[in-house]
Amino acid sequence: MAYDPSTRDAPLTDVALAQLFTEARTRNAWSDRPVAPELLHRLYDLTKFGPTAANTTPARFLFLASPEAKARLAPHMAEMNRAKTLQAPVNVVICHDLDFHEHTPFLFPHNPGAKDWFADAEGRKGTAMLNGSLQAGYFMIAARALGLDVGPMIGFDADGVKAEFLADTTWAPSFVINLGYGTDENLFPRSPRLDFDTAAKLL
């Protein structure tokens, strides 16, 4: 069915919202069902449309799907994360490009001088981390929308991953997401969430 722009203010169905949010869970165990490379391409092609400041889109995604690549990652994971990382069909190292500004003339063409906003290398770090993390959120929602499960982890040696995979790049690893089709094994009870009055103010 073709997209009808006139319906853009219509909410998603409760079934869709459940898949994306209310019934979605962080998975700790994984089936052996493979994730097709074409699906990874589609996942990125959805993620890239999420908004970032000045369309900087600094997130970079290192997909590790081969047994050899995953074995190289495993020693850099915290011990409690190692087994599930090896079990997951795909591990994604979420990174941010510290030289994202090099792409600004292409990404923000209506302001030719925008690259100069990010001339300071130290100042770029915060922009890269903030907007790269924003894109990581889009990535996880997009994955769920495509029927995949996610398991994000910050328990890993970022410097070790940088040296192992990205030494010749300007990419900085932020965290790792396990990706695939999760099972209910080792699934924790859902943790509480803050209510509106605690976490929000309406003025």
Interval 126-139: pLDDT, tens: 999 999 999 999 99
* DSSP-assigned beta bridge partners for residue 94: 61, 175
Phi-psi bin for 103: left (phi > 0), alpha (psi -120 to 50), beta?
Answer: alpha
Give 33-182's CATH code, choosing from 3.40.109.10, 3.30.70.1150, 3.30.300.130, 1.10.10.10: 3.40.109.10
Kindly list the domain boundaries of the chain, sorted by start residue: 33-182
Q: Which residues of 25-60 are buried (b: 16+ CB within 10 A; e: fewer)?
A: ebbbbbeeeebeeebbeebeeebeebebebbbbbbb
Distance, CA of 103 to CA of 17 (rounded, Å) = 34
Distance, CA of 63 to CA of 40 (rounded, Å) = 8
Instruction: Read off the pLDDT of residues 163-203 as tens digits, 9 standing for 90 and up.
Output: 999 999 999 999 999 999 999 999 989 999 999 999 999 99
Distance, CA of 85 to CA of 151 (rounded, Å) = 9
Kind of pairing, strands 59-64 and 171-180? unpaired
Residue 98, pLDDT score: 98
The pTM (predicted TM-score) of the whole model is 0.96
